[in-house]
């Protein structure tokens, strides 16, 4: 309020003296920024090694510095206008807490938006090229991974740096299940989820007493153990050579050009062969599954178990004093998250047609965690957006692929300054005691 008051009293036209002062201040800002840029870019861009010699690349250095100088000048001039100040004020507000929707205030009705997204999503495979379908499939796989880790980190507050282990278990589950047991995509999908959930419990038991850093280190180790086992158990997993994974089938119809028995998909429907059919099919299954997981996630946060996860994240001692079984709460979070990760792994394997341990390095875990943190811990919407940003953006900006990690870093730094709780702050509706009870109470009064 105080700020508004100050602004409203400002004269419309500035005195020339004040304007001069502002320009001088902006110039000074821009000059300092350029000096800093010179220190950073000078050695990197300005000097080019040539054998044992180096050459000065003044032209590119000067152009970079010029862009930075003008950019900073424009920015600081803009931020001194009333519009700019409003923008700054909006960004500098530190909303670091979770937004809780009051009891009587209903959430904005977003059904039509959901319907719109569903429709758009369903149209994609029939309009987009095969390349874009595969990109979006990858995006959705990361949405699943993000949602899975979001349960563990965002809701239950257990920092898991080895989430890739469950992803690997799902992917290898499909590939090895096919190799040794002859199981196809559809039978392995639930089995892999189960397998991942069980290994989640396996990880969960020893880390029950751990918090924070210690938990992070143990989970990190777990992720590496899984990868190393996959890499070194050559007789069983094929080691670094990997294993091939089966593609999904539509009621027994395969998506290959030629099949050993029966008819392939395209012949059955009298279509000409197109390798994109397989990806369209994977896309559609995955699309349905992502929505299913989103729905389950939404319901879970409203169910007692979801509340228990959040309570555990807030305060473990309080939880235990209230008689919550913290063992069950932690294990259920680990297992649910792991199951979702396992499902993502199955899709990854079937989409690639092949798995090997290099797909499941620590970098993957870090990327999934980045998705959750960037999206906003605990925020489902945020995770979906961040998953697409972090997987689709590198595809769009393929020309700048050398700067990919730099961009990640920049994104993270900017986020920490302006959006410390992620792109979309976690919002949840507040607990509601059972409706019937309240109505009964109102009836009595």
Q: Which residues bind another protein (CB under 8 A)?
A: 97-98, 100, 102-103, 307, 310-311, 313-315, 317-318, 320-326, 430-431, 433-434, 437-438, 441
DSSP label at residue 264: B
In the complex, what is the shortest distance from the CB of residue 323 to another protein, in angstroms, rounded to a whole number? 3
Q: Which residue number, 288 or 440, has a Cβ lying nearer to another protein?
A: 440
In the complex, what is the shortest distance from the CB of residue 445 to another protein, in angstroms, rounded to a whole number? 10
Question: Cα dist. 382→20, 373, 377 in Å?
Answer: 43, 9, 8
Q: Which residue number, 11 or 433, has a Cβ lying nearer to another protein?
A: 433
Q: Is 305 exposed, middle or buried (0-12, 13-18, 19+ CB in 10 A)?
A: middle
In the complex, what is the shortest distance from the CB of residue 155 to another protein, in angstroms, rounded to a whole number? 11
* Cα angle: 188, vertex 190, 195; to 5 degrees: 85
Q: Which residue number, 232 or 430, has a Cβ lying nearer to another protein?
A: 430
In the complex, what is the shortest distance from the CB of residue 217 to another protein, in angstroms, rounded to a whole number? 23
Q: Is 408 exposed, middle or buried (0-12, 13-18, 19+ CB in 10 A)?
A: middle
Q: Which residue number, 74 or 328, has a Cβ lying nearer to another protein?
A: 328
Q: Which residue number, 278 or 313, has a Cβ lying nearer to another protein?
A: 313
Q: Is residue 344 within 8 Å of residue 140, measured between CB atoms?
A: no
In the complex, what is the shortest distance from the CB of residue 111 to another protein, in angstroms, rounded to a whole number? 26
Helix (H, G, I), strand (E, B) or coil at 250: strand
| Helix axis angle, 185-204 to 212-232, nearest 10° | 140
In the complex, what is the shortest distance from the CB of residue 198 to another protein, in angstroms, rounded to a whole number? 23
Helix (H, G, I), strand (E, B) or coil at 133: helix
In the complex, what is the shortest distance from the CB of residue 418 to another protein, in angstroms, rounded to a whole number? 20
Q: Which of 155, 173, 169 is nearest to 222 (CA)?
A: 169
Strands 427-429 and 53-56: unpaired
In the complex, what is the shortest distance from the CB of residue 204 to another protein, in angstroms, rounded to a whole number? 16
Q: Which residue number, 33 or 379, has a Cβ lying nearer to another protein?
A: 379
For residue 372, what is the enclosing H or E element? helix 362-375
Q: Which residue number, 175 or 300, has a Cβ lying nearer to another protein?
A: 300
Residue 412: how many other CB atoms lie within 10 Å: 13
Q: Which residue number, 171 or 319, has a Cβ lying nearer to another protein?
A: 319
Residue 32 structure tokens: 């300092």
Instruction: End-to-end CA distance of the chain: give it in Å, rounded.
Output: 41
Residue 430 structure tokens: 């507040």
In the complex, what is the shortest distance from the CB of residue 159 to another protein, in angstroms, rounded to a whole number? 17
| Helix axis angle, 185-204 to 326-352, nearest 10° | 140
Considering only CA atoms, give the Rg of the chain.
27
Q: Which residue number, 124 or 324, has a Cβ lying nearer to another protein?
A: 324
């Amino acid at each position: 309020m105080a700020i508004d008051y100050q602004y409203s009293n400002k004269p419309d036209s500035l005195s020339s003296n004040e304007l001069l002062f502002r320009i001088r201040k902006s110039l000074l800002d821009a000059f300092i920024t350029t000096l800093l840029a010179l220190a950073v870019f000078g050695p990197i861009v300005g000097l080019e090694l040539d054998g044992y010699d180096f050459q000065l690349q003044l032209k590119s250095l000067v152009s970079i510095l010029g862009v930075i100088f003008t950019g900073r000048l424009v920015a600081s001039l803009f931020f001194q206008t009333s519009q700019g100040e409003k923008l700054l004020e909006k960004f500098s507000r530190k909303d670091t807490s979770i937004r809780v929707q009051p009891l009587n205030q209903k959430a904005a009705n977003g059904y039509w938006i959901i319907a719109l997204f569903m429709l758009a999503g369903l149209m994609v495979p029939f309009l987009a090229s095969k390349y874009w379908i595969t990109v979006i499939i990858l995006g959705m796989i990361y949405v699943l991974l993000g949602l899975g880790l979001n349960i563990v980190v965002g809701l239950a507050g257990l920092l898991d740096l080895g989430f890739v282990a469950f992803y690997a278990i799902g992917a290898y589950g499909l590939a090895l299940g096919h190799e040794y047991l002859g199981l196809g995509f559809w039978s392995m999908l639930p089995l892999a989820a189960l397998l991942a959930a069980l290994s989640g419990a396996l990880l969960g038991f020893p880390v029950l007493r751990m918090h924070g850093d210690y938990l992070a280190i143990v989970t990190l180790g777990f992720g590496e153990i899984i990868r190393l086992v996959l890499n070194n158990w050559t007789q069983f997993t094929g080691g670094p050579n990997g294993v091939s994974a089966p593609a999904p089938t539509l009621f027994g119809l395969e998506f290959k050009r030629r099949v050993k028995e029966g008819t392939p998909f395209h012949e059955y429907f009298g279509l000409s062969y197109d390798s994109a059919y397989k990806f369209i099919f994977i896309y559609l299954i995955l699309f349905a599954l992502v929505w299913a997981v989103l729905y389950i996630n939404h319901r879970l946060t409203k169910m007692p178990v979801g509340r228990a996860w959040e309570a555990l994240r807030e305060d473990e001692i309080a939880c235990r004093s209230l008689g919550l079984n913290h063992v069950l709460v932690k294990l259920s979070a680990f297992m649910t998250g792991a199951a979702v990760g396992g499902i993502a792994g199955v899709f990854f394997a079937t989409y690639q047609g092949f798995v090997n341990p290099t797909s499941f390095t620590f970098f993957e875990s870090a990327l999934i965690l980045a998705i959750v943190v960037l999206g906003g811990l605990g925020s489902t919407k945020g995770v979906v957006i961040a998953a697409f940003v972090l997987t689709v953006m590198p595809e769009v900006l393929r020309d700048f692929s050398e700067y990919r990690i730099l961009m990640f870093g920049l994104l993270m730094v900017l986020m920490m300054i302006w959006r410390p709780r992620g792109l979309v702050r976690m919002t949840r509706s507040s607990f509601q005691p059972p409706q019937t009870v309240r109505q009964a109470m109102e009836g009595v009064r």
